[in-house]
């Protein structure tokens, strides 16, 4: 049985080219994750989805920050 997991983060990613950079960096570490950024949302929402793996929010934030962007877990 698979369990879908989703984590949502706020970012300050400003441009589409930057979205590609962040997604590429995340996909290198987590190739099995589905990653996207909602550039229409004022919080530039980064959504990370996994079918089986636990999503390590601290590691996701670290990777995004290494690319020069702010990132934090979106509070419910």
- State the pLDDT at residue 3: 65
Instruction: Give which of 60, 32, 59, 28 is closest to 46, Cα–Cα.
Output: 60
Question: SS3 for 12?
Answer: coil
End-to-end CA distance of the chain: 27
pLDDT band, very low/low/confident/very high, at 2 (cuts 50, 70, 90): low
Domain containing 39: what range? 5-73
The total domain count for the chain is: 1
- State the pLDDT at residue 76: 55
Which domain CATH number covers 69?
3.30.70.100
- Chain mean position to CA 24: 10
Q: What's the pTM?
A: 0.91
For the sheet with 5-11, list strands across it: 34-38, 45-50, 5-11, 71-73
């Amino acid at each position: 049985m698979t369990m879908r997991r989703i984590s949502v983060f706020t970012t300050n990613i400003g441009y589409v080219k930057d979205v590609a950079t962040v997604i590429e960096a995340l996909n290198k570490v987590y190739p099995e994750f589905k990653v996207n950024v909602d550039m229409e949302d004022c919080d530039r929402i980064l959504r990370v989805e996994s079918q089986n793996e636990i999503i390590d929010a601290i590691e996701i934030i670290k990777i995004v920050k290494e690319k020069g962007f702010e990132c934090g877990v979106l509070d419910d």
